[in-house]
Amino acid sequence: MDETTKYQLPESELPTHWYNIQADLPKQAPPPLHPGTHQPIGPADLAPLFPMELIKQEVSSEREIAIPDEVREVYRLWRPTPLVRARRLERALDTPAHIYFKYEGASPVGSHKPNTAVAQAYYNKQEGVRRLTTETGAGQWGTALAMACNFFGIGLKVYMVKVSYEQKPYRRSIMQIYGADVVASPSADTNAGRAIRASSPDTPGSLGIAISEAVEDAATRDDTKYSLGSVLNHVLMHQTVIGQEAIKQMEMAGEYPDVVIGCAGGGSNYAGIAFPFMREKLAGKRATRFVAVEPEACPSLTKGEYRYDFGDTAGMTPLVKMYTLGHTFIPEGIHAGGLRYHGMANLVCELFDQGYMEARAYHQTAVFEAALQFARAEAIVPAPESAHAVKAAIDEALEAKAAGKRRVILFNLSGHGYFDLAAYDQYLAGKLQDFAYPADKVKEAMAAVPVIA
Amino acid sequence: MDETTKYQLPESELPTHWYNIQADLPKQAPPPLHPGTHQPIGPADLAPLFPMELIKQEVSSEREIAIPDEVREVYRLWRPTPLVRARRLERALDTPAHIYFKYEGASPVGSHKPNTAVAQAYYNKQEGVRRLTTETGAGQWGTALAMACNFFGIGLKVYMVKVSYEQKPYRRSIMQIYGADVVASPSADTNAGRAIRASSPDTPGSLGIAISEAVEDAATRDDTKYSLGSVLNHVLMHQTVIGQEAIKQMEMAGEYPDVVIGCAGGGSNYAGIAFPFMREKLAGKRATRFVAVEPEACPSLTKGEYRYDFGDTAGMTPLVKMYTLGHTFIPEGIHAGGLRYHGMANLVCELFDQGYMEARAYHQTAVFEAALQFARAEAIVPAPESAHAVKAAIDEALEAKAAGKRRVILFNLSGHGYFDLAAYDQYLAGKLQDFAYPADKVKEAMAAVPVIA
């Protein structure tokens, strides 16, 4: 009975640096290209959208970058987050595997997103930026940035995908509690928004459209910059506090993971848990397996092609080399809104391409089945995105059982599902829909991907 | 900058005993009376509804009662909860006061309720009970008991007040995720429910009605007992893990509270934070102040009379001496549903009557204003109930500022408000309604309180 459940680090063990995996990549990652010239972009190209310190981090080859005291002070409100040994789940599965999860749902907005939101708001404030814009789907990112902007006294305008704005009012409420200005996207406030409203008055909106609006807003106002919640190098780097803490907590538990698992939409929570462990693999010290988990309805790593593509629907962003389903691909309306992205962070793609990690895709119903099993064992209701990692962890544990082998499994529970309960209602009512891999739609979207010489 | 924000106890410091304040009361509390005979009730009277171990705890005069290992094992999923120094709130108020809060919203269901739910499910399981019934309003108690019953493999039927069942589907979803059977009350499943549906087909339901249904269900089935989430002595005692942890955490911070604050509906979260500190006051070691906070719309301690009354609307429960507004009093529909109770736990009333504590009442708008100020400073969005404690803590801090004095304030943040965001929407839209003290309705209800010789 006196077995530890939660491995809790004291605040004094809060990481002092972010880990920049660019310093350790065996083969350098391909640079982003200018959308017009197809030439590698420089800092000046990004300056209208991002503060210089984040641009420097984006291209930095320094291994460790110090976390400013002001950022660590905010992290302390909820960090270090607990590492939990899922003993009840292990017993329910009757597996010899040891299952650990890092619980990022412990943040005030219920996900890992504040790890980068706080850093981004801080650097913008430092450089005199008075207002930020961003896009959000279901609202995890928007709530995190709203909290961060409130702390640093910066204004925020959030372009929230229309269907979520209407169907999921509660994350919108939280953004407003923190003082953010939230509009449904496409909105009447930008040229991009107005054009789409004119041509498709009934559109439910999409992340790609919302990005176009937020970027236009920031690019056309001197006091305003833009903030992105995933995909970019500096965003992934800010998330490495997760894995760094987990390394120390696994030491407390006296174990080292055989496999590290995270769900992957844009790639930031996966990178957050994986990169600090990957550092030891890249250094040749460990043979750890890494698994990124995607929805079958939007399987960029498992079914996409590794080539240059735009980050947004309208083609306004730089071209980034990534496993892509085509920037015009609109995934079906699965409940894991944070995984509905056509591409993937370049750094994750590069590690996948270089063979350092695996990827797998699951259907929605199987994911919710795993989520329910987890909730009944461990009490926490996972976010639909995070439930993809839960499903993979359960499968790994069952494989270990079948093989009669010990296996130490670590996954990132990137968020809780208390704002996603309508999805659970549908699952419990047997009304949840599965979506097959949309081969035809992807083929069509891939035809629109620019060909780079 | 290197100032601690969260005081986190290791799992090894989880309390081993509950503290039973009945052992230390200077004047013994008046016994509950049989609703028919008006004679003190004995264990046999309660046996149809509660397992014998809980009945023993209800009347125990032992100072400490050991927490079973099985209960502590579940507590470990989220306990010890953090004690947080609200440094940002202090700065926002520019006060010399030090403000600490104990964060019970860290539990998987977001409130303090599992502290007793887990214990009650355990003892029922131990005595062979196969099924529990309970009532719930907004759902905090129902979700906690659903989680607990799921862990111990007991069935649960929740009678959920109809208006909440329809308007707040998400806590219902969580109960169903944990496997509970949830019906809208009044239901067609009990005589009490059918009678009310026949006479008032459009009733929104009430806690009093739901209690009557849950009690009837349990009393008429051999395999079933009933569970209550507040008011009773054993329920308050189970909550004392909160204050016991807080004592150790205040020691870590090197301070002792001058004032301890909790919101009070039935009295259990207030008792949880207050009683372990009160123990030192009753022993003459400390002069700590204690403040229970109520809504102006339902101010039982501040405006009620201390006399014997029923716990439920229908008059089926034992008579308990308490500060009451009359058991037939139906409070206005304030958002702090957990504080809409006509009475108060006898142990809290007795301490108030004996002069060991204070009480105050606030209007709804002032409470939400304080909640918003707290959320913008500390990021956590408080439950409307807990926001009453927040308001009192802010007032205490501002008083200290006006007096130019140091003051150490501790309050219980008994739950988060992520299921109560519609209420915040109303506040932000300026649509929140205040309710004056309903003197006439109380006068009418008090006329229906039985007169005990």
What pLDDT does B1 receive?
43
pLDDT tens-digit map of B329-387: 988 888 888 898 899 999 999 999 999 999 999 999 999 999 999 999 999 999 999 99
Residues of chain A found within 8 Å of residue B425, distances taken between Cβ atoms: 169, 173, 176
In the three-class reduction of DSSP (H, G, I as helix; E, B as strand; rest coil), residue B146 is classed as: helix
* Mode of pairing for the β-strands spanning B6-7 and A319-324: unpaired
Q: Do B73 and A419 touch (CB under 8 A)?
A: no
Q: Which of B5, B89, B175, B420 to mutate to test the interface with A (most CBs of A within 10 A)?
A: B5
Within 8 A by CB and 6+ apart from A438, the residues are A297, A331, A332
Q: Which of A172, A369, A418, A431 to mutate to test the interface with B (most CBs of B within 10 A)?
A: A418
Count of A-B CB contacts under 8 Å? 114
Provide the chain A residues 181-220 that lie in CB contact (below 8 A) with chain B: none
Indicate the residue of B77, B109, B381 with minimum beta-carbon distance to A378.
B77
At B2, is the pLDDT very low, low, confident or very high (cuts 50, 70, 90)?
Answer: low
**Which residue in chain B has the smallest CA separation from A73?**
B1
Distance from CA of A172 to the nearest CA of B (A): 9
Distance from CA of B56 to the nearest CA of A (A): 26
State mean pLDDT over B390-413. 98
Contact of B142 with B134, CB cutoff 8 Å: yes
Contact of B242 with B210, CB cutoff 8 Å: no
Picking from A96, A152, A103, the residue whose alpha carbon sits closest to that of residue A123 is A152
**Which residue in chain B has the smallest CA separation from A87?**
B77
Q: Do B379 and A76 touch (CB under 8 A)?
A: no
DSSP A105-127: GGSTTSBSTHHHHHHHHHHHHHT
Provide the chain B residues 71-110 that lie in CB contact (below 8 A) with chain A: 72-73, 76-78, 84, 88, 106, 108-110
Q: Hey, is the C-beta of B422 within 8 angstroms of any chain A C-beta? A: yes
Picking from A295, A296, A266, A269, the residue whose alpha carbon sits closest to that of residue A384 is A295
Q: Model-level pTM?
A: 0.96
Q: Is the dihedral of CA B228, B234, B239, B241 positive or negative?
A: negative
Q: Is it the case that residue B166 has pLDDT exceeding 90?
A: no
In the three-class reduction of DSSP (H, G, I as helix; E, B as strand; rest coil), residue B30 is classed as: coil
Provide the chain A residues 364-383 that lie in CB contact (below 8 A) with chain B: 372, 375-376, 378-381
What pLDDT does A2 receive?
54
Picking from A360, A324, A359, A336, the residue whose alpha carbon sits closest to that of residue A442 is A324
Residues of chain A found within 8 Å of residue B375, distances taken between Cβ atoms: 177-178
State mean pLDDT over B197-222. 91
- For A241-275, give one letter per residue: b (16+ CB within 10 A) or e: bbbbbbbebbeeeeeebbbbbbbbbbbbbbbbbbb
Q: Do B108 and A1 touch (CB under 8 A)?
A: no
What pLDDT does B164 receive?
86
Picking from B69, B66, B76, B65, the residue whose alpha carbon sits closest to that of residue B14 is B76
Q: Do B173 and A376 touch (CB under 8 A)?
A: no
At B207, is the pLDDT very low, low, confident or very high (cuts 50, 70, 90)?
Answer: confident
Mean pLDDT (chain B) is 95
Q: Is it the case that residue B453 has pLDDT exceeding 80?
A: no
Residues of chain B found within 8 Å of residue A427, distances taken between Cβ atoms: none
State mean pLDDT over B389-411. 98
Contact of A228 with A392, CB cutoff 8 Å: no
**Euclidean distance between CA atoms A307 and A320, whole angstroms:** 8
What the block records as the tokens of B27 is 């004047």
**Which residue in chain A has the smallest CA separation from B145?**
A379
Residues, chain B: 453
The parts of chain A modelled with pLDDT lower than 70 are 1-2
Q: Do A378 and B421 touch (CB under 8 A)?
A: no
Distance from CA of B383 to the nearest CA of A (A): 13
